Amino acid sequence: MKNLTSVIKVKVATKDKEEATNILNELGLDMNTFVNMAIKQLIKADGLPFKVSNPKPNKELLKSLEEGERIIQEIKEGKRKGYNNVNEMLKAILDN
């Protein structure tokens, strides 16, 4: 029995293709091999072989983001000292 193959043509962002190709090269794979592996896993799992979700920030992250925004505002208002880099911050700590 012949081993029949088909061509699949997909469009992806050039940057994404370049990044994926670099990763695959580091793994000793090419795009063709990866696509075939992904399809085999799709068939084996009888569905997507990875979790698909729309991640939402949890309450702790939202609280941290709000705190960060408050700190930035206080620095702008002169109520709090800000630093441009870690060395400035360390100098200020050590000088006190």
Q: What is the pLDDT of residue 79?
A: 95
Residue 39: its pLDDT value, please? Answer: 96
**SS3 (DSSP) at 78:** coil
Local structure of residue 77 (DSSP, 8 states): T
Return the pLDDT at 33: 96
Question: Taking the alpha carbons of 14, 26, 52, 39 in that order, is the dihedral positive or negative?
Answer: positive
Determine the pLDDT at residue 1: 62
What DSSP designation does 49 have? S
- Looking at residue 59, its pLDDT comes to 94
Q: Which residues of the chain have pLDDT under 50?
A: none
- Which pLDDT does position 35 carry in this prediction? 95
How buried is residue 24: exposed, middle or buried, by Cβ count under 10 Å (0-12/13-18/19+)?
middle
Give me the residue spans of the domains in the chain: 1-52, 59-95
